[in-house]
Structure 1
């Protein structure tokens, strides 16, 4: 979204006079989106080395598309541990062939606060390193998992006659991984990768908030100078800043009873949860860029039984850490509040909760702005030009990396739409153009041709 103001038109018009002091205060209160279109593209030309890298990609466009199909059709839903293990083996083999030293990293399983007292298992993550002479230490990051489970109907990549690509994870983010791998191959064949001081990190749990891999991301991020995340863009707008994310779970324990003959002896967990849900949803405040969504709720087992257990899974979005902490505190307060009372069983219902702020807000960063400006300039001469920037409500692992001090550009993947749904799509043109862009960008970072603001 672009926000450009002509002050004379805004402050004074035929029908409206605005108090400048009040307007200045209003500007301060507006969300970060207002600043999200101020990055100015650089003007650049391609060197012979740049052109050679671009030619390498062009000559392999068919094989890159074929490779994308293989990646997309390997199911890697976050809960498909076998599928993620197989996919990690593919990535491990590819990186080893490029001269990387690889290592797997495990995350412990996590108990989930539900009526069934479930446990969530996380597949191992993969890191790969190369140590060269480049003074810039680069971290390239992508996530292996998607939101599509093994039993989902959306499992294949369809290439439409007009070049549109439809498939699970095509933009989020199998396309980004294929772009990264081919950029590394091009750099390797050109001898540029020999100088790289680089780590590649693939985690397996991004779609559940990187709850297991966050410590690993933070540890590795602090060992590098620049982060590049291969998440996709939208409408050729790359993300400059992002909201923070949190999540919470409620579990309510009541007392089951016959809904007809002993209704008065029951304590409805579902009724208690319903009241809490209304209170939680009322925390949404669009003016302050804070939203809450109770995305999953369940309660009871039978129509004719007062439900003895109910549960909810909650999403939180916020503009900064202070707003996130306030939101989390309000949700915890609601969790502890009691709405349903049966004098026969005053101790019931029992409410349990869990809440975490799993991704910090990603603020505007001058070093990232330099990278975006360079990417915009390069994309103009390469093709599929980046049109500008945006402020996103969605989170990525770039937020975690930048949260511990690593300037991170997190929209180097394919341009797409419909993520997390059966409408997910991108284009073949975007796949090839972004592969060219990533290849030249990484080459220029390795050899120091990109001037970065601090």
Structure 2
């Protein structure tokens, strides 16, 4: 999942022969990507036209079959891993063994989109070098870049330069529960890998491609407050105290005043309070009853917060817990941090080193150096589950805008430069360069 960003004023970036410093196999990879551009766009259309909302289990599996048909001819052993235990469709796991001593590369993407079967936004529509459609950028465009790069490596004879494990989850946009079951295969793959490459979308700022070496966490919380109910004329006295809603307001206000620090965002998404208040089982709908002359007995709020490291996550949880514990008179409160969130991917030295290698590829392709993207610009993602075990890069997919909303639009021309970057980078990483 990623936060949409405009790609206005973008154009096709060609390789300048005067600048290019590619080996003969790398030049073949670049030419193959260009030659197969039409094939890549056609594949993207087929993937987009198959609905694969996270809860459309059959649709997610159908997209998995399409990807299998692309990977098996390249020598990958492809397995469909059902995820009924996590109440989701399943994942594609594909492996390919390279030459002895080759590095192990983990490639990450996802089969599902946020657009379910009942969404009015269902079809691929091309307009020149752009196309809109559900998942056109996030993440069906990313899978197309991945496949284009692997096909280019095959054509150049470099596919054996690396050992590959590909994990394409079927529930990145709405992760299964329990999360330790839903992400077990990905986590295990991360422990085996020497580098991880995430094929979610490329970010472009002011016309410049950005490198992504960090993603923030996603942590959900539920706050419940209690007060003594009675006639409103008695509120704030020694017997009845402040009431549940005032206690809820105190805590949320303190969050706003006391929590802010670099790289942290926090949000309250839903609130209810009154004589009675409750959230539904999914935590997305609230009900409440109350009267203006009755002190409210219950308050409830649900929200999230996002951090750049697990240390920051622990610190923020401790701050929130301490704020909640300072009860107003006559009230009680409890905060519960929900299991199953996305961990953080910190901007480590190893991740920076991978971006430096990618910038070496950029230099040899005659492309501009990619500066690190501010992690506040990205949402949470699957690569974070392996971030403690392996160095990684994010954003190997195409550039797009309007992700997660009707009208999601991919810059088709970016597929070519991203596939060239990925193919050459994977070849060099696999060879230990």
Give TM-score, length-normalised by structure 2.
0.75
- State whether structure 2 residue 409 is matched by structure 1 residue 409: no
Give runs of aligned pairs for residues 5-404 of structure 1, distance below 5 A.
Answer: 45-107=21-83, 121-133=87-99, 134-161=101-128, 163-208=129-174, 211-212=179-180, 213-235=182-204, 236-250=209-223, 277-282=252-257, 284-286=259-261, 288-297=262-271, 298-300=285-287, 312-332=301-321, 353-356=336-339, 358-366=342-350, 368-380=351-363, 382=365, 385-393=368-376, 394=378, 395-404=380-389
Q: Comparing both chains, which one has the higher relative contact order based on Cα–Cα distances under 8 Å and sequence gaps of 6 or more?
A: 2
Q: Is the CA contact (8 Å cut-off) linking 1:138 and 1:199 kept in structure 2?
A: yes
Cα gap change, 1:256/1:129 in structure 2, threshold over 3 Å: closer, same or farther? Answer: farther
Structure 2: unaligned runs, 5 residues or longer: 1-18, 231-242, 272-284
Alpha-carbon shift at residue 352 of structure 1 (Å): 7.0
Cα deviation 1:377-423 (Å, max 9, x = unaligned): 4335547645422231333222221212x111122111233333335
- Cα gap change, 1:252/1:419 in structure 2, threshold over 3 Å: closer, same or farther? farther
- TM-superposed CA distance for 1:304, in Å, is 8.3
RMSD after superposition: 3.6
Structure 1, unaligned runs of 5 or more: 1-42, 111-120, 258-267
Q: 1:270 & 1:78 partners in 2: Cα distance?
A: 36
Once the two structures are superposed, what CA deviation does each residue of 1:241-261 show, in whole Å capped at 9, x if it has no partner?
Answer: 33333222456799999xxxx
Aligned residues, how many?
381
| Residues 141 and 230 in structure 1, CA contact (< 8 A), matched pair in contact too | yes
8 A Cα contact 1:147 1:420, kept in partner = yes
Q: For the structure 1 residues 313 and 66, does the alpha-carbon distance in structure 2 shift closer, same or farther, using more than 3 Å as the test? A: farther
Range moving further from structure 2, 302-311 or 229-238: 302-311
Deviations 1:177-230 (A, max 9, x none): 111112222223443324531111111222346735333222111111111111
- How far has the Cα of 1:47 moved from its partner? 1.6
Q: CA deviation at 1:122?
A: 2.1
Matched position secondary structure for 2:53: coil
1:166, CA displacement in angstroms? 2.7
Q: Does 1:425 pair with 2:409?
A: yes
Query: Aligned in 2, Cα 1:231/1:142: closer, same or farther, shift over 3 Å?
Result: same
- 2 CA distance for matches of 1:239 and 1:334? 34
CA 1:380–1:303 in structure 2 vs 1: closer, same or farther (change >3 Å)?
A: farther
The question of whether the paired residues in 2 share the 8 Å contact of 1:243 and 1:360 is answered with: yes
Separation in 1, partners of 2:324, 2:116: 30
Q: Distance in 2 between matches of 1:249 and 1:77?
A: 27
State how far apart, in whole Å, the 1-side matches of 2:98 and 2:307 are: 40
